[in-house]
Structure 1
Amino acid sequence: MSFSALTCGAVVFPGMFFSFRAFLRRLSPKWTEADAVCVSERLVSAVHGSLATVAGAVVVMSCRDVMNDSHWLVNAFTVFGAPYMTFDLYAMYLSHFHFQKSSRHSLQTIRAFLHKDWMLVLHHVALLSVFMPITLFFRRGLGDFFIGCFFITEFSTPFIAVGKILIQLGLDDTRLHRLNGLLVLLTFFTCRILVFPFMYWTYGRQFGIPLNKVPFHLPLHCNLGNVVILAPQIYWFILLVKKAKRLYLRHKKTKEGKERQRTD
């Protein structure tokens, strides 16, 4: 099953990317290669995020015992998603390359990409080199419930992707973009930050431990791992809040300017 899932992921995600890119170029000949690549990368990201959320929800709802219950989707989707993480690094670099209007690929363009998106690159590399081996080989079949919760953290990804696509289409000053922005904040905070106390609370409920004492009943490496994963989520959420504030103030200023013009 693992080889089949890996092969399927290696075909599906690159296939979707190149299909989206070709379709978008035919749909709108005025689009540049940078536009088509950027939107295609976001669409594939949205698809992967949606699939991860569904897989995670199925696992979480199926595991009554948070430590011992298992579900085949955990290993299968981890292997299936690995090619996406690998290919998405290439797609992000390709998007950066075209938007920088570089004439050719070089170590300089790669360094510029790594400098600009170092945190996203580190996130992808950590998932491939740390999260995937732990999930597949070192858990001893325990904690499928928690892996399902980690899958659900991708619930905000489709909304983030839609927001960037709307900006790409010049629709960043529309009601749809503002509504999507609210959904980004809500889903990100709920599924990428609140999910951690939820996991601790669920563990404590099963074993009769108060929430504030759960960390002291877990191995140190579990708590450290959660902190390492949670820290960048908080950082990204702060960036999202700051961006939402800037967009709100810009919209408010534009609206006030239009009202002054009407009264004049």
Structure 2
Amino acid sequence: MLLTLACGSIFFPGFFMLCAWGLHQALPQWTVIDCLTFSNRLVSSIQAVLASLSGLIVVLSCTDVVTCRHWLAREYIWVLIPYMIYDLGAMYICYWYGNRGEDKKHSLAIFRNFLKHDRLMLTHHIFILIVLVPIAQVIRGERGDFFVGCIFTAEFSTPFVSLGRILILCKKQHTFAYKLNGVLTLGTFFFCRILVFPFMYWSYGRQNGLNVLQTPFHIPVLCNVINALLISPQLYWFALLCRKAAHMFDTSQAKKGG
């Protein structure tokens, strides 16, 4: 546990700073905020790949969705904790560099604007740290590794989301690659961040002779509440992605019409 926490605490911020420094040296035409944003997205993608692989291994290894155990279901939580803390700091650094004044000092006004600008993502991160981590590591006891693995696999869409931002940084938002990545982003987000919840209910129901609609009434209320809190921001973000995709399609159609 301590070794995993220490490695995560060193790797994520260390790689972020090293990548930002390397980009600034290799691409002097890029602004500092561009280098920081690229680095933050890259670190997020690396974490997402690690989480998705861990989750997939856990899910495929569990023959019983309630009682089966896999060491990764608990061990990867100790990777997730330093990542979430790092990401909160990296988000603020990126916001500050993009909105700092001429004096280049931190201010309470900038911090307040940051809290307002990224309130949903901040709430999501803090909720994971103060609610989900204790539940996953202590409260659930020796049960539910399968469901923890399912939650890990939700990160599979993150590299595509990050790649979209990176393509914008590289001025590639009008290319076929950007549009293809947009389709992949929508697909992976829908399957891994939304359908994963009915999949968990279906998996439990199948094992216990219940259909998906019956399952919520045969599990602890807390499980339903947690799932509702988790899926709510995912639905909001998916709606934003759909709106962005529709705008991109309308823009391409307008250009063809013009």
Pairwise TM-score range, normalised by the shorter structure = over 0.9
Q: AA paired with 1:115?
A: K
Q: How does 1:36-75 map to 2 (within 5 A)?
A: 36-75=35-74
1:34 aligns with 2:38: no
CA change 1:101–1:255 in 2 (3 A) is: farther
Q: Distance in 1 between matches of 2:44 and 2:227?
A: 24
1:155 aligns with 2:156: yes
Q: Distance in 2 between matches of 1:204 and 1:222?
A: 14
Q: How does 1:44-123 map to 2 (within 5 A)?
A: 44-102=43-101, 103-123=104-124
Partner residue of 1:13?
12
Q: Distance in 2 between matches of 1:169 and 1:94?
A: 21
SS at match of 1:74: helix
Number of residue pairs aligned between Structure 1 and Structure 2: 256
Q: AA paired with 1:32?
A: T
8 Å contact kept, 2:100–2:110? no
Q: Distance in 1 between matches of 2:12 and 2:50?
A: 12
Identity of aligned residues (%): 43
- 26-35 or 93-102: bigger deviation: 93-102
1:138 aligns with 2:128: no
Q: Give the TM-score normalised by the residue count of structure 2.
A: 0.97
**Structure 1 residue 57, shift from structure 2 partner:** 0.2
Q: AA paired with 1:70?
A: R
Q: AA paired with 2:234?
A: Q
**Structure 1 residue 101, shift from structure 2 partner:** 3.7
Partner residue of 1:198?
199
Q: Distance in 1 between matches of 2:94 and 2:250?
A: 29
Q: Distance in 2 between matches of 1:13 and 1:81?
A: 10
SS at match of 1:69: coil
SS at match of 1:211: coil
Partner residue of 2:127?
126
8 Å contact kept, 2:147–2:200? yes
**Structure 1 residue 256, shift from structure 2 partner:** 2.8
Deviations 1:135-158 (A, max 9, x none): 111111110000000000000001
Q: AA paired with 2:49?
A: S
Q: Distance in 2 between matches of 1:72 and 1:222?
A: 22
Q: Distance in 2 between matches of 1:120 and 1:135?
A: 20
SS at match of 2:69: coil
Q: Which runs of 5+ in 2 are unaligned?
A: none
Q: AA paired with 2:76?
A: F
Deviations 1:68-107 (A, max 9, x none): 0111111111011211100111111111111114321111
- 215-224 or 248-257: bigger deviation: 248-257
Q: AA paired with 1:58?
A: I
**Structure 1 residue 241, shift from structure 2 partner:** 0.2
SS at match of 2:213: helix
Partner residue of 1:24?
23
1:231 aligns with 2:232: yes
Q: AA paired with 2:217?
A: F
**Structure 1 residue 254, shift from structure 2 partner:** 2.0
**Structure 1 residue 221, shift from structure 2 partner:** 1.0
SS at match of 2:214: helix
Q: AA paired with 2:228?
A: V
Q: Distance in 2 between matches of 1:223 and 1:115?
A: 28
Q: Give the TM-score normalised by the residue count of structure 1.
A: 0.95
Q: Which runs of 5+ in 1 are unaligned?
A: 258-264
Q: Distance in 2 between matches of 1:255 and 1:127?
A: 45
Q: AA paired with 1:107?
A: L
